[in-house]
Structure 1
Amino acid sequence: MNDDIILAIDQGTTSTRAMSFGQDGVPRHSIRREFVQHYPQAGWVEHDPEDIWRDTLATLTETAAADGGRVAAIGITNQRETLVVWDRATGEPVYKAIVWQDRRGAALCARLKAEGCEPLVRARTGLLLDPYFTATKLKWILDEVSGVRARAERGELAAGTIDSFLLWRLTGGKVHATDASNASRTMLFDIHRGVWDEELMRLFMVPANLLPEVRDNAAEFGETNVLGRPTLIGGMAGDQQAAAIGQACFARGDVKSTYGTGCFLLLNTGDHAVASEHGLLTTIAYRLSGRTTYALEGSIFVAGAAIKWLRDGIGIITHAADTHDLATRLDDNHGVYMVPAFVGLGAPHWDPAARATISGLTFDATGAHLARAALESVAYQTKDLIAAMSADGARDLRQVRVDGGMAANDWFCQFLADMLDSEVARPANIETTAAGAAFLAGMTAGMWRGPDDIAATWRADRTFVPQMTADKRAALNAGWQDAVRRTLSV
Structure 2
Amino acid sequence: MRVASIDQGTTSTRCLVIEDGGAWRIAASRKHGQEHPHAGWVEHDPDELLNNIMSVLEAAGEVDAIAIANQGESCIAWDAETKAALSPVIVWQDARTAKYLAELGAEAEATSRHICGLPLDPYFSASKLAWLLRHVPTIADAHKAGRLRLGTTDAFFLDALAGEFATDVATASRTGLMDLATSQWSDELCNLHGVPRECLPRIGSVDEELGKIKGIPVRASIVDQQAALFGHGCREPGDCKITFGTGAFLLAVAGGERPAQSDLLPTVAWRRGDGKTTFAVEGGVYDAGSALDWARSIGLFDALDELGAFEGPSALSRGIVFVPALSGLAAPYWDRAAAPLFIGMDHATDRRDLVRAVLEGVAMLTVGLIDAAAAVTQLGPSISIDGGLSQSRYFAQFLASASKRTIIVPSMHELTALGLAEFCGLDVCAARANHTRFEPDGSVTDEHHAMFVEAVRRARGWRI
Shorter-chain TM range is over 0.9
Render the CA deviation track for 1:331-382: whole Å, top value 9, x for unaligned: 2212211111111100111101111111112121111111111111121011
Q: What TM-score comes out, normalization by structure 2 length?
A: 0.96
Q: Does 1:363 align with 2:347?
A: yes
C-alpha distance in 2 between matches for 1:242 and 1:396: 19
Q: Which residue of 2 aligns with 1:429?
A: 412
Render the CA deviation track for 1:77-97: whole Å, top value 9, x for unaligned: 011100111112222211111
C-alpha distance in 2 between matches for 1:7 and 1:307: 30
Q: Which residue of 2 aligns with 1:222?
A: 211
Render the CA deviation track for 1:98-145: whole Å, top value 9, x for unaligned: 10000011112111234x111211111111110100000000000001
> 1:329: Cα distance to partner?
2.6
Contact 2:239 2:379 in 1 (8 A): no
Q: Does 1:489 align with 2:461?
A: yes
Superposed, 1:237-248 pairs within 5 Å as 237-248=222-233
Q: Which residue of 2 aligns with 1:395?
A: 378
Superposed, 1:89-488 pairs within 5 Å as 89-114=81-106, 116-171=107-162, 174-225=163-214, 230-277=215-262, 279-288=263-272, 289-312=274-297, 314-325=298-309, 328-333=310-315, 334-392=318-376, 394-440=377-423, 442-443=424-425, 448=426, 453=427, 458-469=432-443, 472-488=444-460
> 1:456: Cα distance to partner?
6.6
Letter in 1 for 2:459: T
C-alpha distance in 1 between matches for 2:339 and 2:2: 45
Q: What TM-score comes out, normalization by structure 1 length?
A: 0.91
List gaps (5 residues or longer) in structure 2: none
Letter in 1 for 2:321: Y
Q: Secondary structure at the match of 1:232?
A: strand
Letter in 2 for 1:363: H
Q: Secondary structure at the match of 2:16?
A: strand
Letter in 2 for 1:61: E
C-alpha distance in 2 between matches for 1:318 and 1:30: 27
Contact 1:113 1:129 in 2 (8 A): no
C-alpha distance in 2 between matches for 1:249 and 1:206: 34
> 1:315: Cα distance to partner?
2.4
> 1:189: Cα distance to partner?
0.6
Distance 1:323 1:428, change over 3 A: closer
Render the CA deviation track for 1:145-180: whole Å, top value 9, x for unaligned: 113223224321212211111112221xx2111111
C-alpha distance in 1 between matches for 2:213 and 2:48: 19
C-alpha distance in 2 between matches for 1:149 and 1:320: 45
Q: Secondary structure at the match of 1:71?
A: coil
Q: Which residue of 2 aligns with 1:77?
A: 69
Q: Does 1:39 align with 2:11?
A: no
> 1:275: Cα distance to partner?
2.3
Q: Does 1:30 align with 2:2?
A: no
C-alpha distance in 2 between matches for 1:26 and 1:485: 47
> 1:224: Cα distance to partner?
1.1
Render the CA deviation track for 1:184-221: whole Å, top value 9, x for unaligned: 00000112201011111111111122111111011101
Q: Secondary structure at the match of 1:233?
A: strand
> Once superposed, which parts of structure 1, at least 4 consecutive aligned residues long, lie more than 6 Å away?
none
Q: What is the number of equivalent residue pairs in this alignment? A: 459
Distance 1:53 1:399, change over 3 A: same
Letter in 2 for 1:489: G
C-alpha distance in 2 between matches for 1:125 and 1:160: 16
C-alpha distance in 1 between matches for 2:82 and 2:308: 48
C-alpha distance in 2 between matches for 1:310 and 1:30: 30
Contact 1:105 1:137 in 2 (8 A): yes
Letter in 2 for 1:426: V
C-alpha distance in 1 between matches for 2:305 and 2:160: 36
Contact 1:262 1:305 in 2 (8 A): yes
Render the CA deviation track for 1:278-318: whole Å, top value 9, x for unaligned: x2110000001211000011111111111111123x02222
> 1:428: Cα distance to partner?
2.3
C-alpha distance in 2 between matches for 1:141 and 1:57: 27
Render the CA deviation track for 1:19-76: whole Å, top value 9, x for unaligned: 11011224223311211111111111111111111111111111x23xxxx4111000
Q: Secondary structure at the match of 2:208?
A: strand
Contact 2:240 2:379 in 1 (8 A): no
Deviates more, 1:30-39 or 1:177-186: 30-39
C-alpha distance in 1 between matches for 2:436 and 2:255: 27
Q: CA RMSD in A?
A: 1.5
> 1:482: Cα distance to partner?
1.2
